[in-house]
Amino acid sequence: MIPLDEAVLIGPDTPAGLPELDAALERLAAQDQRKSEIVELLCFGGLTYDETAAALKISPATVHREIKLAKAWLHRELTRGAA
């Protein structure tokens, strides 16, 4: 686990790809706000699937389905042109 103050540190030691991930998440939010919120709550907020479902007033099954689609979309966005 990384303390929150270290996790949000942006500077010369910023992990490679962080700006690209942020840009991809912004593009995802423009296309599908709910998927973007699910990614943020699960990956950055530390919520469980059940907690995320409750926060967004959707079923846990919807969270599972939406995160799979969001991960695939982000993967495609982040690897586009990398080949």
Report pLDDT digits (tens) over 52-67: 999 999 999 999 999 9
d(C-alpha 58, C-alpha 42), whole Å: 14
**Are 52 and 63 contacting, i.e. CB atoms less than 8 angstroms apart?**
yes
Read off the pTM: 0.76
SS3 readout for the chain? CCCHHHHCCCCCCCCCCHHHHHHHHHHHHHHCHHHHHHHHHHHHCCCCHHHHHHHHCCCHHHHHHHHHHHHHHHHHHHHCCCC
> Number of folded domains in the chain?
1
Could you list the residue range(s) of the whole structural domain that residue 61 is in? 31-83
Per-residue pLDDT at 2: 45
Residue 81 is part of a domain; what is its CATH number? Answer: 1.10.10
Does the residue 15 lie in any domain? no
For the stretch 4-45, pLDDT in tens is 444 444 455 545 577 888 899 999 999 999 999 999 999 989
Does the residue 13 lie in any domain? no
Per-residue pLDDT at 80: 81
